Amino acid sequence: MEKIIEMLRIFNTTTDHVMDHFVFPATHRKLVCFILAVWLPAMIPAFAQTPPEGIPYIRHYSRQDYGSSPFNWSIVQDRRGVVYVANNYNLLQFDGNTWRSTPLPNRTVVRSLALDKNGTVYYGGQADFGYLQPDAHGEPTFVSLRSRIKPTEQAFADVWKILVTEHGVVFCTTAGLYTWQHDSIRFFPLDPEAAGLTSYFYVSRRLFVCRQRQGIAEFKDQELVTVPHSEALARDNITGMLPAPGNRILLATQQHGLFMYDGYSGFTPWSPESIPFFRNNTVVCAAAVAGGYILGSSHHGMLMLSDDGTPRLHLHRDNGLQHNGIEYIYPDNNGNVWLALRDGIDYVEINSPFTRLSTASGLAGAGFTSWVDGNIFYAGTSEGLYYKPWTPNNNPLTPSPFRLVEGTAGQTYNLQKIGNTLLLTHNNGVYTVDGPTAKRCEGPAGAWLVQPLAKRPGYLLCGAYDGLRLYQMIGDQPTFRWKIRGFEESARVIEQDAAGNLWVAHGYLGLYRITLTDDLRQVRDVQFYNARNGFPSNVFINVFQVSHELVFTGQRGIYSYDAGRDTFVPHAALVEALGAEGHTRKLVEDREGNIWFASGDDLGILRKRNGQHYESTRTIFNKLQRRLVGGFEHIAPHSARHVIIGTDDGFVHFDPGFVFDTDRTFTTLIRSVVITAGGDSLLSGGSSADATAATSGDTPTLPYARNALRFSFSATSYEDPEHVQYQYRLEGYDAQWSPWTKHTAQAYTDLPEGRYTFHVKSQDLYHRAGSEAVYTFSILPPWYRSYWAYAGYLVVSALLLQWGYRSGQRARQKAIRLQEATHQEAVLRAEKEVIKLNHEKLEHALAHKNQELASSAMHIVHSFETLQKVKSDLYAALEAVQDPEARNHLKRILRAIAGELTVENRWEQFEHHFNQIHQDFLARLRREYPGLTHNDIKLISYLKLNLATKEIAPLLNLTVRGVEASRYRIRKKMNLDPHVNLTDFILRY
């Protein structure tokens, strides 16, 4: 019955909340209520989780992280999951990976934010308000509505709140209310003389204006109507009005507590347990969350209440928050809360099965052991043993932090209750623990664990640094008896079998089976097991007691002992559940028979199903991967709702009753597309309010010169965002999806022309999938592969073909001409050769004729000389002859000889032959040098025949000296330079 009542209360609350934020036609309201009535009972476990022990995980975002003012005013989350923060300097955006900062157009403070049912984000600043709209590149831009206000109504300062109502979006200022609806603004002025106008709320489809010292007024039909009985609250500021079960409204005041308003009879004080929170503190904001409410204060953090008003959680700077001043609380889409602080932004995971017990709770060191003893919770760490009260309804306003048990400072190992005595094993030895005190037992230091000897009641076995020790329980006090001889190795892990044998696992040596003597003073028998007995190696062998049997683990696999063969074989059921390759480091059985395990990086629970088969649950524990203390893993299922897990920073509390939402979704976003070719330029800013906007609109078309792009992406998963992984693929380029990666950007260069679609998907720490994001674009071919280029190529090709044809024709004609020219050249060469030969023949003939002519001249000279001698001899003979007839005969001979010796007769004959050989040489000589005498011509002719002076002299009937004198005269007549040889000149002439 209580559960049904609780369901109905949540149903009423949720119905009011839904109706407040969405407008439904009257005919649809019953349908909506029916759907909620069916849907909510299934969701109640998620909405009404039991507040756990410890402090929730809190993620801090400092001013350095988001790069703006420390002071923040408001927070909202759009349908994609992107978070917007109103900051003193800018509007901030956060997508789980990157902060973006955008100032208002008038560069003033951003005071308020709101989101309507269409996903539009509205903003309010100083003297301005409006909404966000992505520009052509997807970058967020502010669309101011100030210009829509009449000039006479524009005198307002800060927009303190924005309310999304069924009658439009209301921007609340001290000057009045501006309602934006149907593309127009209506203004309702507020009395400037009214004292202390402070706050505005829209709850249960009612708009309230709360005025200090005047009470509460409801805005109806364009007028303010005072709410009856609200004068009682006029002494304080109203900082929150929230829907409550039963169609009621919860009011939070700054300093005087909480009040419940039923809508009719008045205001009733509520949650007296929370009153201490209001003392010396100012509550400035409030929010409704699943199963309760959260109050935010200016000086002492936040207080979380259950829906019956019971304080459940108090967070402040000393136990986890960055700052005690909280300006705004925003429950996000996943049931966690964002806090707008006066210095920073915090994300508090209140909708989680995990909470922390660490420094913020008063603990120090890594967690090794824990125990709940009555109403006291003990936690043993590397720094000592701590305790605190353990009660179902701890009031967080009167906290009881962990305190160190006196005398236990130092390394602790195990807590074990034997009978009525709680024992602690410690670096210093064995302690008995009683409430806040502990007493060290006698005996050596260095104790790992203590356990009763199953076959010897009253005796305790202690595994120590240097072997085994024996204690005896005398009353409720353990007394050290002796060190057991025969085993000197460290005994940190010990289990006992049904026969009373001790199984001692050594992390680096192997496994020992030990049998003690009857007097328990020494070891009777030791059997050693390692890789030769079925284990994969000698190291990391462990032994655990599970379901009344011993289970052994090694570096790989899980094993049972086969006594018949004295060896170890795979444990069928556990290997099936956990695999044969993992290193299982811890197995713990709870009261329900479930097995908690730490294997590899995984932590989880095995629940038995269908006899010997187990069902494994491990994904929910991914948050604790690599956080457990290696080799000393501590998992303590204290009850059905409380499991304590040791970590490297204290402990984590896990609530097994928490309903983990495995289907929780988030959005994968392509946050920017940047063209990197030719300098970075933004193609898409990724700020569309529509998660699928990347595929809408015209497909961007890029020139080939800009074929290099970089995609940046994110996922709106805010629990451990550093563990979000991504897969991407560029359709049209990548053959397959990339491996999972934590990188949030991917670049492509030198993309060929074509149409591409970039796909990216994500998964969070728990392997839940985010929606896939896509972005489609096209790259044009380079100019030389464009349609116009191909058309040009056709034209050019045609021209080239024509030119080629004509060139071929010309080439053929040229070849013919060349052939003809070659032939003609050959003919000419042949003719030249003939001419040359003829010339040579002529020269040879000329030389021969010259030689003949010279020989003839020489013959003439010789004949002349002979005739002269004959003439002389005849004259001598004439003188001696007396006979007249003989003398006459001689005289006739002499006259004949004299006639033969006449030069002119001989010259004419010589000149005739000379001109035949030398082609009118003498005629040319006479024309060019008319001053030459007949004898000069003769001398030159003989020089042309290259005759020597002595050879010429007789021909001219001159002496040699006379010839030389004639040569000199000829040089002067021909005006020859002194250095010119006359004979050479005549030969060349």
Do 738 and 828 have their domain in common? no
Say if residue 32's pLDDT is above 60: no
As a whole number, mean pLDDT of residues 278-304 equals: 94
Task: Please choose, from the candidates 312, 302, 377, the residue with its C-alpha nearest in 3D space to the C-alpha of residue 340.
Answer: 302
Question: Which range, 186-195, 670-679, 908-917, is most confident?
Answer: 670-679
Q: Report which of residues 662 and 739 the model is more confident about.
A: 739
Residue 947 confidence (pLDDT): 82
Domain end marker among 780, 796, 814: 780
Spatial separation of the C-alpha atoms in residues 614 and 431, rounded to whole Å = 38
Min mean pLDDT across 360-369, 682-691, 898-907 is at 898-907
Say if residue 59's pLDDT is above 60: yes
Residue 414 confidence (pLDDT): 97
Q: Tens digits of per-residue pLDDT, 94-138? A: 999 999 999 999 999 999 999 999 999 999 999 999 999 988 888
The percentage of residues in the chain with a pLDDT greater than 70, rounded to a whole number, is: 89
Do 697 and 773 have their domain in common? yes
Rg of the chain over Cα atoms, rounded to whole angstroms, equals 61
Provide, for the chain, the percentages of residues in helix, strand and coil under a 3-state DSSP scheme, each rounded to the nearest 5: 25, 35, 35
What's 731's domain CATH number? 2.60.40.10
- H or E, element range at 814: helix 787-880
Q: How far is CA 940 from CA 135, 888, 920, 963, 969, in A?
A: 112, 41, 13, 11, 12
Residues 6+ apart with CB under 8 A from 448: 413, 414, 425, 462, 463, 464, 465, 490, 491, 492, 493
Domain that holds residue 749: 668-780
Whether the CB-CB separation of 809 and 815 falls below 8 Å is answered with no
For 137, counting Cβ atoms within 10 Å of its Cβ (0-12 exposed, 13-18 middle, 19+ buried), the class is: middle
Q: Is residue 79 part of a domain?
A: no
Min mean pLDDT across 303-312, 531-540, 695-704, 818-827 is at 695-704
Tokens encoding 881: 């002859």
Domain end marker among 728, 754, 780: 780
Residue 196 confidence (pLDDT): 59
DSSP assigned state of 901: T
Q: Is residue 59 part of a domain?
A: no
- Confidence band for 958, pLDDT divided at 50, 70 and 90: confident
Residue 383 confidence (pLDDT): 96
Q: Report which of residues 901 and 693 the model is more confident about.
A: 901
Whether the CB-CB separation of 548 and 495 falls below 8 Å is answered with no
* Side-by-side strand order, sheet with 709-715: 681-684, 668-675, 709-715, 745-748
What angle do helix axes 787-880 and 884-900 make, rounded to 10 degrees? Answer: 170
- Confidence band for 945, pLDDT divided at 50, 70 and 90: confident
Spatial separation of the C-alpha atoms in residues 955 and 862, rounded to whole Å = 10
Q: Tens digits of per-residue pLDDT, 410-440? A: 999 999 999 999 999 999 999 999 999 999 9
Do 916 and 971 have their domain in common? yes
Give the strand pairing for 121-124 and 72-77: unpaired
Task: Please choose, from the candidates 776, 788, 591, 587, the residue with its C-alpha nearest in 3D space to the C-alpha of residue 698.
Answer: 776
Do 737 and 860 have their domain in common? no
Q: Is residue 306 part of a domain?
A: no
Say if residue 329's pLDDT is above 80: yes
Residue 10 confidence (pLDDT): 35
Say if residue 476's pLDDT is above 70: yes
Do 759 and 826 have their domain in common? no
Spatial separation of the C-alpha atoms in residues 779 and 755, rounded to whole Å = 6
Number of domains in the chain: 3
What angle do helix axes 903-918 and 934-944 make, rounded to 10 degrees? Answer: 50
Q: Is residue 904 part of a domain?
A: yes
Spatial separation of the C-alpha atoms in residues 451 and 432, rounded to whole Å = 14
Tokens encoding 123: 């903003």
Residue 829 confidence (pLDDT): 81
Q: Is residue 974 part of a domain?
A: yes
Residues 6+ apart with CB under 8 A from 735: none
- φ, ψ of residue 680 in degrees (nearest 5): -65, 135
Question: Mean pLDDT in the chain?
Answer: 87
Say if residue 379's pLDDT is above 50: yes
The partner residues of 609 in beta bridges, in order of sequence, read 613
Do 952 and 849 have their domain in common? yes
Tokens encoding 845: 């003939």
Q: Give the DSSP per-residue string, 48-61.
A: SPPPPSSEE-EEEE
- Confidence band for 669, pLDDT divided at 50, 70 and 90: very high
Query: CA 18: distance to chain centroid?
Result: 39
Task: Please choose, from the candidates 145, 167, 166, 164, the residue with its C-alpha nearest in 3D space to the C-alpha of residue 156.
Answer: 145
Domain end marker among 748, 765, 780: 780
Residue 355 confidence (pLDDT): 95
Q: Is residue 845 part of a domain?
A: yes
Q: Which residue has the tokens 């007549």?
A: 973
Tokens encoding 175: 């000057």
As a whole number, mean pLDDT of residues 66-70 equals: 96
- φ, ψ of residue 373 in degrees (nearest 5): -120, 100
Residue 907 confidence (pLDDT): 67
Residue 121 confidence (pLDDT): 96
Question: Which range, 608-617, 746-755, 862-871, 872-881, is most confident?
Answer: 746-755
Min mean pLDDT across 150-154, 155-159, 855-859, 914-918 is at 855-859
Residue 36 confidence (pLDDT): 37
As a whole number, mean pLDDT of residues 971-976 equals: 86
Phi-psi region of 500 (alpha: psi -120 to 50; beta: other; left: phi over 0): left
As a whole number, mean pLDDT of residues 918-935 equals: 83
Per-position b or e across 281-305, b if 16+ CB within 10 A of its CB: bbbbbbbbbbbbbbbbbbebbbbbb
Task: Please choose, from the candidates 686, 660, 743, the residue with its C-alpha nearest in 3D space to the C-alpha of residue 80.
Answer: 686
Do 770 and 849 have their domain in common? no
Task: Please choose, from the candidates 271, 275, 268, the residue with its C-alpha nearest in 3D space to the C-alpha of residue 305.
Answer: 271
Do 840 and 968 have their domain in common? yes
Q: Report which of residues 241 and 263 the model is more confident about.
A: 241
Q: Report which of residues 241 and 948 the model is more confident about.
A: 241
Query: CA 971: distance to chain centroid?
Result: 105
Residue 434 confidence (pLDDT): 93
Do 861 and 968 have their domain in common? yes
Q: Tens digits of per-residue pLDDT, 497-527? A: 999 999 999 999 999 999 999 999 999 999 9
Q: How far is CA 655 from CA 54, 181, 570, in A?
A: 11, 47, 32
Q: Is residue 711 part of a domain?
A: yes
Say if residue 65's pLDDT is above 80: yes
- φ, ψ of residue 549 in degrees (nearest 5): -140, 160
Do 894 and 772 have their domain in common? no
Per-position b or e across 321-337, b if 16+ CB within 10 A of its CB: bbbbbbbbbbbbbbbbb
Residue 392 confidence (pLDDT): 66
Phi-psi region of 446 (alpha: psi -120 to 50; beta: other; left: phi over 0): left
Q: Tens digits of per-residue pLDDT, 544-559? A: 999 899 999 999 999 9
Say if residue 607's pLDDT is above 80: yes
Do 735 and 878 have their domain in common? no
Spatial separation of the C-alpha atoms in residues 312 and 655, rounded to whole Å = 15
Do 750 and 826 have their domain in common? no
Q: Is residue 121 part of a domain?
A: no
The partner residues of 616 in beta bridges, in order of sequence, read 606
**Cα separation of the two ends of the chain:** 150
Min mean pLDDT across 61-75, 340-354, 774-788, 864-878 is at 864-878
Say if residue 243's pLDDT is above 60: yes
Say if residue 52's pLDDT is above 70: no
Q: Is 270 helix (H, G, I), strand (E, B) or coil?
A: strand
Spatial separation of the C-alpha atoms in residues 765 and 742, rounded to whole Å = 11
Whether the CB-CB separation of 624 and 647 falls below 8 Å is answered with yes
Q: Tens digits of per-residue pLDDT, 450-473? A: 999 999 999 999 999 999 999 999
- Confidence band for 697, pLDDT divided at 50, 70 and 90: low
Residue 25 confidence (pLDDT): 38
Min mean pLDDT across 141-145, 677-681, 745-749 is at 677-681
* Side-by-side strand order, sheet with 83-87: 72-77, 83-87, 91-94, 99-102
Say if residue 209's pLDDT is above 60: yes
